[in-house]
Structure 1
Amino acid sequence: MDYFIAPDGRPRCGWAGAAPEFLSYHDTEWGFPVADDQRLFEKISLEGFQAGLSWRTILTKRQNFRHAFAAFDYRALAEFDEADVERLLGDTGIVRHRGKIDAVINNARRAVDLESETGSLAAFFWRYEPDPDQVDPPQTASASPASVALSKELKRRGWRFVGPTTVFAFMQAMGLINDHSTDCVVRPLAGDRRRDFTPPR
């Protein structure tokens, strides 16, 4: 069974019932299309931090991450230096992993370059929205041809901690695909939002 019955008596994706923090995130954020550059950068950064950990660990620390990383304003993060890295390594409210911290700062600098080239991060990321007819059935894949292509391009541009699985999770969460389970009551809502959404170009 790929769904669970939430307290309101209606079905949701099975993972949304795995922790108390998940239901609101699932119902209000996950799978709804996003065009805001700062939110996109935050999400791909947090997905990188999740590597090897649980999403619950990251979600419960999200406000701490936002405070520590300048609300994921990548223009501000691009100016972080070694003193900032040392400060972050001493911050018990986040995941203190030097490689991941360095990656966020590096990726912020690459994001500034990308914005300068393409106009916005959203315009770049939404180029990789797959044709819905070519998407695997909901929640049956951990990567896709689109996530492999996006991962490859980001790595070519110097981004780090952006493997195909990390990028696929980013695409699921930011609404580039609608991966809510077929029985989930949020699936049609996310679908409606996607139909009304005009990807930035």
Structure 2
Amino acid sequence: MYVLSPQEKEAKKQLIAAAASKLFQKNDFNKISMARIARESGVAKGTLFNYFKTKESIFMYLLLSGYQDYLKDVLLRFQAAENITTWSAFSSFLLEQNHLLISKRPDLLRLNALRGPILETAADKEQTLLGRKKLYQVNHQLGQAIAKRINILDDKQASHLFIIQSAIISGLMNMMNLDEFHHDQLPVDFKGFQIDLEQEANQLMLFYLQGLAQKLGGAK
């Protein structure tokens, strides 16, 4: 019997994850089944369970690996922007990351909204822990790089900014579209509930950064 190499197993795992991600671009989570993921990936349903025990495990993997990739990209962009040495320039950089996360990675934001109430109920705990350790490591590396240049921040404070970023955006998303129900417009006038996600996220991030700068003794 042919046994897959570790590289072939990883490739198969990525194939399954990519198929699930593709389905998630156009479908609600509850409309996606393991059987549908198997068909999309061209993998037998029985084989699918050798890589992911549950549907929730697949999407938890997509969430954690997706955020790892996002933070790696942020790190590369920061390293390439050698002129970011002041608090003002760094604040502008963070707002640019808000734009990129909201406009380019809406899948991560949707998945993050599912994490606590849905994904954690049935995702594989060991696989999730491994993914979180990898994410923590990437976040820490990013914090170290930022702290070397923005001297009022230490590694932990710099790393924490991206937790704040996620919290701000996720919190706003939870209050968006209260004039809709399952994508259908409700017969109500809820203008006060309407949110421009990027604009509001940037404003809240700036408030946070201004308060942090004051707490740390000011910044230029």
Fold match (TM-score > 0.5): no
Higher RCO, Cα 8 Å, sep 6+: 1
**Normalised TM-score (structure 1):** 0.30
**Normalised TM-score (structure 2):** 0.28
